[in-house]
Structure 1
């Protein structure tokens, strides 16, 4: 069965790279409740949350907000705590951290609350002023600085596409990006080996994205993201599409990997639902 493929974005170039895979550019103004559950999607998490508000459930999968924090310390190299925003500081979950902590929304991205370093002693006050719902899931980590970062797209236990996206402070898309890639050939090879080991040994959904990075010549997992909403960088579009397709549970065989929106994503209204 050939399923329709819709790319929800305001950026034309994202949709255009998937045209060979049959992609249709969707501006995201509305949704068809009849065809949507059988469609392959690339879309922002906030848009999918709005679809859910409209009563349209899409069969999307991800590693989940607690996946990273449950990994062995040997794979992540830092302490990671994930919990509700309104419970930060309870049960002494900040006591073991240093003066600064890295704070992000797991499996969610909001311009109003970007991933950033914060003073540990001020964190509860900072979060209280964020305007986010109390049940928002946040992730607190020891700061870790990666010299090189790479993304890997996974489909059914295999890495099907890969892309570097940060090299010694130069980010993908910068004017000197091509020159920067020659500075990290050894690191890139090490990251490839490490990423394949993680994919092989750590359980994950049939389709997802794995970000890994190098620090002091040692590779670690940065995070996992949903294949159906992650930036594509220099990844091979055909391989990325394979991971996106694999991240859809059309048969209902993988309820343990079902994506549930972080409450922070429920800030938008419901989508317009098309009627026949």
Structure 2
């Protein structure tokens, strides 16, 4: 087990990391250490009996194994949040549905899992190309089905307490292109929070971009599982520490957004005037 000091396992500011680290996760680890947190990189998904930790940075599979026994509460957007946003915010039609319904699609569509990587995010020529009932539970597996569009620029926004805390450009015309957060992307994120922020947890990542010159929401991602690209590491860490924190510290506002492995997640109701039925 890779840790700064084994004597501090009971410290509530211990940050747990998975066996494999991306470059972004390595930066997050270094940032946490510079702030005085203890970081523990586990060699496997097994939790040492003596480990006590309050925070986590990892993908959903590792998080689902490690967070519940450690008492870490994980915030994420509701599975149907993107589908309930009005067209003015998304710029395209998006529906959340059980994958059994998506099997019936006979047109190209961009399809993905809402919060996990179970269903690979990509354009499917039709629903028959999706993983079949022998691979996933056709009744409980939810997918987001979207019109196929091209984003000319894509930005990651780290959101905290109703503000854009930091962010970064990460793609242009579908290709990786790292750059600073633009004033336009920040303004769009601020407007989104003002109108629809109550339907999101207090700490979350939202990706936004441009479709034919107009800003649109791409998707929401859990901050504890997101790469920071060129976002300010210290400010990204601020969001992470709220998004994956001791469950007993979760506020009443954020409690509806706690992730429960293997169950649907439904957040606070969106104003009917802002949603799609």
What is the TM-score with the length of structure 1 in the denominator? 0.76
CA distance, structure 1, for counterparts of residue 173 and residue 22 of structure 2: 29
- Of structures 1 and 2, the one scoring higher in RCO (CA 8 A, sep 6+) is 1
CA distance, structure 2, for counterparts of residue 12 and residue 191 of structure 1: 25
Q: 1:83 to 1:51 in 2, by over 3 A?
A: farther
What value does the CA root-mean-square deviation take over the aligned residues?
A: 2.9
CA distance, structure 1, for counterparts of residue 12 and residue 71 of structure 2: 20
Q: How many residues align?
A: 241
**Post-superposition shift, 1:23?**
4.6
Residue of structure 1 equivalent to 2:258? 258
CA distances 1:128-163 after superposition (whole Å, capped 9, x unpaired): 277122222211111121010000111111221101
Aligned partners of 1:85 and 1:136 also within 8 Å: yes
CA distance, structure 1, for counterparts of residue 190 and residue 19 of structure 2: 30
Q: 1:106 to 1:262 in 2, by over 3 A?
A: farther
CA distance, structure 1, for counterparts of residue 143 and residue 227 of structure 2: 21
Residue of structure 2 equivalent to 1:271? none
Matching of residues 29-68 of structure 1 within 5 Å: 29=44, 30-31=46-47, 36=52, 39-51=54-66, 57-68=71-82
Choose which of 143, 148, 167 in structure 2 pairs with 1:162.
Answer: 167
Q: 1:195 to 1:28 in 2, by over 3 A?
A: farther
1:78 aligns with 2:92: yes
For residue 152 of structure 1, give the secondary structure of its aligned residue in structure 2.
Answer: strand
Matching of residues 52-201 of structure 1 within 5 Å: 57-88=71-102, 94=105, 99-110=107-118, 113-120=119-126, 123-124=127-128, 126-128=130-132, 131-134=135-138, 135-172=140-177, 181=179, 188-201=182-195
For residue 43 of structure 1, give the secondary structure of its aligned residue in structure 2.
Answer: coil
- Gaps in structure 2 of 5+ consecutive residues: 1-10, 264-277
What is the TM-score with the length of structure 2 in the denominator? 0.76
Residue of structure 1 equivalent to 2:235? 239
Residue of structure 1 equivalent to 2:271? none
- Gaps in structure 1 of 5+ consecutive residues: 264-276
CA distance, structure 2, for counterparts of residue 219 and residue 116 of structure 1: 21
For residue 194 of structure 2, give the secondary structure of its aligned residue in structure 1.
Answer: helix
CA distance, structure 2, for counterparts of residue 19 and residue 224 of structure 1: 27
Q: 1:212 to 1:201 in 2, by over 3 A?
A: same
Aligned partners of 2:75 and 2:222 also within 8 Å: yes
For residue 78 of structure 1, give the secondary structure of its aligned residue in structure 2.
Answer: coil
CA distance, structure 1, for counterparts of residue 224 and residue 174 of structure 2: 27
Deviation above 6 Å: which 4+ runs of structure 1?
none
**Post-superposition shift, 1:261?**
3.5
After alignment, is 77-86 or 218-227 more displaced? 77-86
**Post-superposition shift, 1:2?**
6.0
